[in-house]
Structure 1
Amino acid sequence: MVLRPEHLTQPTLQPFLMACRQEISWFTKLETLVLMGWQVLRGRSTTSLRVWVRELTESGFPEFVRFAVGLDRDFDAVQAATETSWSNGQVEGQVNRLKTLKRSMYGRAGLNLLRARLLYQPVR
């Protein structure tokens, strides 16, 4: 199961989260950063991406600091991904399909068969 923000309101998870908040001193800070990140990256927050990256950098968690450095390295692309509805999913799907076909054909047949399989379009 992938943990999502809406799962945090489930009654079975609440006692566990409360125990973590009470027993682990840094848990609340970590939880706040993760929830803020979910909201920022989904475009549902008034907090800017720049503020969240700064919070990650100053958090003191080495994993978050490294993540923030990676986000900052390509900040414009990350910001565009959070602010626009554009996606390159179709392109990535076609690239994946072509690479899979190429790997499956490696060493088996000539260029003509590979070309035929790559250009084949099933009838709908």
Structure 2
Amino acid sequence: MLTRPGNLTDTRRRLLDDLTTACPEMIELAGLVRGFADLLQPRDGNADRLNARITTARAADLPHLHAFTRGLDQDRDAVRAALTLPYHNGGTEGVDTKTKRIMRQMHGRAGFTLLRHRILLA
């Protein structure tokens, strides 16, 4: 459900079809997940579409989605900014992840000088 429909292999597509036909709630859940996933491309009208998606999710009889929408409401300004603005911190997060990986590999082996050298060479 979390993969774009065009990127699904035939096996995974059949599995998704089997799951959605076996459980009526899965059909509704799959539609809602795809609707929220469509919002992840920052566009101008996403703030209005977010409100519509939240209303649709609340109308569904899926309690876990209700908890998700409550979380969206608690941080509405940040969610709106993430879905409408073209800015992101993906590069920063990538560098942070790489640094943490190097630190875990070197845990307890050497001092800051070697860690700094490895990070600069990475």
Structure 2 length-normalised TM: 0.68
Residue ranges of structure 2 left out of the alignment (5+ in a row): none
Instruction: Summarize the Cα distance change of 1:67–1:113 in structure 2 as closer, same or farther, 3 Å threshold.
Output: same
Partner letter of residue 41 of structure 2?
Answer: R
Counterpart of 1:54?
55
The correspondence of residues 1-124 of structure 1 with structure 2, limited to 5 A, is 3-6=3-6, 16=17, 20=21, 25-26=24-25, 29-43=28-42, 47-118=48-119, 120-121=120-121
Residues paired across the two proteins, number: 114
Larger radius of gyration: 1
Contact 2:72 2:79 (C-alpha < 8 Å) held by counterparts: yes
Q: Distance in 2 between matches of 1:52 and 1:106?
A: 45
Instruction: Summarize the Cα distance change of 1:61–1:2 in structure 2 as closer, same or farther, 3 Å threshold.
Output: closer
Instruction: Summarize the Cα distance change of 1:50–1:107 in structure 2 as closer, same or farther, 3 Å threshold.
Output: same
Partner letter of residue 40 of structure 1?
Answer: L
Q: Which structure carries more helix by proportion?
A: 2
Q: Secondary structure at the match of 1:48?
A: helix
Partner letter of residue 84 of structure 1?
Answer: L
Residue ranges of structure 1 left out of the alignment (5+ in a row): none
Give runs of ≥4 in structure 1 deviating > 6 Å.
none
Q: Distance in 2 between matches of 1:81 and 1:30?
A: 23
Contact 1:58 1:65 (C-alpha < 8 Å) held by counterparts: no
